[in-house]
Structure 1
Amino acid sequence: MASQAQSAMLETVKTRQGFIAALDQSGGSTPKALSLYGIDQSSYNNDEEMFKKVHEMRTRIITSPAFDGKRILGAILFENTLDRDIEGLSSSRFLWQKKQILPFLKVDKGLADEQNDVQQMKPMPGLDELLAKANAQDVFGTKMRSVVKRANKAGIEAVVDQQFQVGKQILAAGLMPIIEPEVDINSPDKAEAETLLRSAILQQLDALPESQQVMLKLTLPSETNFYKPCVDHPRVLKVVALSGGYSRNDANHKLSQNHGMIASFSRALTNGLQAQQSDADFNSMLDATIESIYQASIT
C-alpha cells in the first residue's frame, strides 16, 4: 500500500466492522439492474444514455444518508462509474473523502466460454493501465470474477490459478485484489465443488509471501463455516460473501451463520429500490436493507 490514503484505508479494513456494497454491474448486466430499478429500456437510446441512467441510480444510493461508513466498509465500482463524478468529486474520492467508504474497482472483462465446467476470465490486456488509473483515483482494491459450474478439479484449479496470477499483478501495482471464484448456487454438486475450491485456494494462499495479503469473495457455502480456514489464514485480509441469486433474506440468514465472513451483495442490496420512490421512501428502504445486511455481517 503506497499512498497515505491507501494506508488509512488498510487500517480501516482491519479495524472497522461493516460490509462491501457491490455497485459494479457492467455493460451486460446494466439493463437488468435498471429494469429492476424501474427504468425501462425505452427510456434510453444508446450505451451512453444507459450508463448515465445507471450512474444516476448509483449516485442516489451513494449520496443517501443511509449509505454511511458506519455500516459500509467498501463499495465496488464499474470502470464507467470511476470515470464519472459525484457532487464534484470523482466517484472513488467521494466515497472515501465524504463517506469513509473504501473504493474498489471491477477489473475483469467478463467471462470466457465454459470449459471444464468453469468459466475463467477473459484476457485483460489493458490491466496495467487500468490499475494505474485506479491508483490515481485513490482506489483501494480491485475485484474480478470467475464462475465454477461443477465439481471439476482441473477446471477449478485453472480458475484459481488464473485468479491468483492476476492477483499478483494487482498486488504489484499496490492495490488489494478481491479474488472471486464464484460457485454457481444451482450447481448439482455445489458442496463437492466447494471442497475442491477451498483446497485450491489454500494451496495458493500458502504459497504467497508473508508480506502479501488478498481478499476473497466466495459463494455462501453449503456447509456452515466451511471457509473458516480461509477466514483465519494469515494471507487473507477479509473473506466476503456474494449473494449469488439467493434472496436477501436467505443470503442474510446464511451469512449470519458463517462467522467471520461479511457481505458483498449486489442485487440483494438494491432489490426493492425504485426510481419512482420519494427520497424519504427510497432512503428508508435502503436504510432497512443496509441494516439487515450489516447485522448479518457482524456475526
Structure 2
Amino acid sequence: MACTSLVKLNASSSQWIGKQSFNNQGSTRPTFHRLAVPIQARSYTDELVQTAKLIASPGRGILAIDESNATCGKRLASIGLENTEINRQAYRQLLLTTPGLGEYVSGAIFFEETLYQSTTDGKKFVDCLREEKIMPGIKVDKGLVPLPGSNGESWCQGLDGLASRCAEYYKQGARFAKWRTVVSIPCGPSALAVKEAAWGLARYAAISQDNGLVPIVEPEILLDGDHPIERTLEVAENVWAEVFFYLAQNNVLFEGILLKPSMVTPGAEHKEKASPETIAKYTLKMLSRRVPPAVPGIMFLSGGQSEVEATLNLNAMNQQPNPWHVSFSYARALQNTVLKTWQGLPENVEAAQRALLIRAKANSIAQLGRYSAEGESEEAKKGMFVKGYTY
C-alpha cells in the first residue's frame, strides 16, 4: 500500500511542488510538476526589465568586443601587432573612449580581462561606458568543446561556478551577460546538439538573472554549408523552439532577456545569394513563429557578413512591421574597418574612432529602417566569413 504527501522545494529561482510517494518499505520516489504560475524568488526583476529596455532603445545596439585573448591576438596579428595585454588594452581603449559612441551604442560586451582593465590614465573601462550611458556586459561562457556522441558537433561549457562569477561581475559593474553556443547545419544538426545547446542556454539565463545580469541568449547557427535559405529557416525554427521550451522550464523572465540570433540566410557556399529583402522576410518569419513579443530586444549577430551586408539586412528587417526592437550586436561588422584604419599607430587613433562612429551610425540608422549603402567604401563591402568560426 502506498500513500502520498505534498512537498515543496525551493529552487534558485522558483518553487516546485510534487507528490512524494511512499512505498511499503518506506522509501520515497518524488515526482515534480511545474507550477502553472511560477513563484519568483528573484530580487532583480525590476532592474532586469529596465536594463533590457535601456539596451533595446531606439537607434542603438551592442558593440561586441568579447573575443577571447587568443582571438583578439589574431585580430592584432592581422595588422602586425603582437598579442600582449598592453596592445589589447590599447585597442579596447580606442574603442571605449570614442566620443559620442553612446548615441549609437547602448551596450558593450567585454571579455573578462577587459571588465577589470582601465585606460592608460587610470579610468576604468566600465566608467568610460557609463559616461556615454552605455551598459557594460560580460561574456560568461568558457568556450566550445567537442560534444561526445554527436555528429562531430560542439557544446558550450561554463555552468560550473557561473553563479559566483556572475555575482562578481555584477559587483564590478556588468549588467548583462552573453553565452554563445553554435549549431552546424552540415553536421545535421543532431537532436543531441540542439537539445544540449538549448538546455545550456536556459540554465545560463536563469543563473544570470538570479545574479542581476540580463542574459543574451545566443545559439549561433553557423553560415557553413551550401544549403538554401529554406533549410536554414527549418533549422532555426527547430533550435528556437527548443530554446524557448527550456527557458520556460527554467522559469526565465522573458521580459528580462535579449536574443542574439543569426539572420536566416542561405549557406555561405550556396550558389544563389539572397537579397536583404529575402533575408528579412525569412528571418522575421522565423521570429514571428518562435519568439514571444514579451522579449524586448533582438540583437542580431553578423556571422561573417560584410559590414555593409549586415547593415543592409538589418535595415530591411526594420522596414517591415514587427513587435520587437530589432537591432545589432556586431563584432567584426563594426570593427573591421576600425582595426585596419588604426594599424596600431597612436597617430591613427582619431581616424579609427571616426571609422567606428561611421559604422555605428550606419547601423543606428538601419535600426530605424532608414539606411542607404550609398557612399560605402569597398573595404566595408568585403565579406568576413570564416568556415567553422569559433573564438
**Shared fold (TM-score greater than 0.5)?**
yes
Question: By how many angstroms is 1:112 displaced?
Answer: 1.2
Q: Which residue of 2 aligns with 1:215?
A: 258
Match of 1:148 among 158, 183, 187: 183
Verify: 1:248 aligned to 2:248, yes or no: no
Q: Which residue of 2 aligns with 1:172?
A: 210
Letter of the aligned partner of 2:360 in structure 1? Answer: I
Q: For residues 16-27 of structure 1, what are the structure 2 equivalents within 5 Å? A: 16-27=58-69
Q: Which residue of 2 aligns with 1:284?
A: 354
Q: Which residue of 2 aligns with 1:125?
A: 160
| CA separation of 1:195 and 1:5: change in aligned 2, threshold 3 A | closer
Percent identity of equivalent pairs: 22
Residues 196-219 of structure 1 deviation map (CA, whole Å, 9 limit, x = unaligned): 112223323554648553211111
TM-score (normalised: structure 2): 0.67
Verify: 1:194 aligned to 2:236, yes or no: yes
The answer (yes or no) to whether the contact 1:118–1:159 under 8 Å persists in 2 is no
RMSD, aligned α-carbons: 2.6
Q: Which residue of 2 aligns with 1:296?
A: 366
Letter of the aligned partner of 2:201 in structure 1? Answer: Q
Question: By how many angstroms is 1:236 displaced?
Answer: 1.8
| Counterparts of 1:153 and 1:140, CA distance in 2 | 33
The alignment covers a number of residue pairs equal to 289
Match of 2:111 among 64, 74, 78: 78
The answer (yes or no) to whether the contact 1:19–1:73 under 8 Å persists in 2 is yes
Letter of the aligned partner of 1:33 in structure 2? Answer: R
| CA separation of 1:204 and 1:137: change in aligned 2, threshold 3 A | same
SS in 1 for 2:64: strand
The answer (yes or no) to whether the contact 1:152–1:193 under 8 Å persists in 2 is no
Report which stretch shifted further, 193-202 or 7-16. Answer: 7-16
| Counterparts of 2:165 and 2:128, CA distance in 1 | 19
Match of 2:72 among 30, 40, 43: 30
SS in 2 for 1:236: coil
* More helix by percentage: 1
The answer (yes or no) to whether the contact 2:61–2:106 under 8 Å persists in 1 is yes
The answer (yes or no) to whether the contact 1:230–1:239 under 8 Å persists in 2 is no
Question: By how many angstroms is 1:69 displaced?
Answer: 1.4
| CA separation of 1:238 and 1:10: change in aligned 2, threshold 3 A | closer
| Counterparts of 1:69 and 1:6, CA distance in 2 | 20
The answer (yes or no) to whether the contact 2:206–2:252 under 8 Å persists in 1 is no
| CA separation of 1:177 and 1:156: change in aligned 2, threshold 3 A | same
Q: For residues 85-96 of structure 1, what are the structure 2 equivalents within 5 Å? A: 85-86=118-119, 87-96=121-130
Question: By how many angstroms is 1:286 displaced?
Answer: 1.6
| Counterparts of 2:252 and 2:45, CA distance in 1 | 21
Question: By how many angstroms is 1:24 displaced?
Answer: 0.8
Q: Which residue of 2 aligns with 1:107?
A: 140
The answer (yes or no) to whether the contact 1:117–1:152 under 8 Å persists in 2 is no
- Where relative contact order (Cα < 8 A, 6+ residues apart) is larger, the structure is 1
The answer (yes or no) to whether the contact 1:103–1:140 under 8 Å persists in 2 is yes
TM-score (normalised: structure 1): 0.86
Verify: 1:262 aligned to 2:327, yes or no: yes
Verify: 1:181 aligned to 2:219, yes or no: yes
| Counterparts of 1:23 and 1:214, CA distance in 2 | 20
Verify: 1:160 aligned to 2:202, yes or no: no
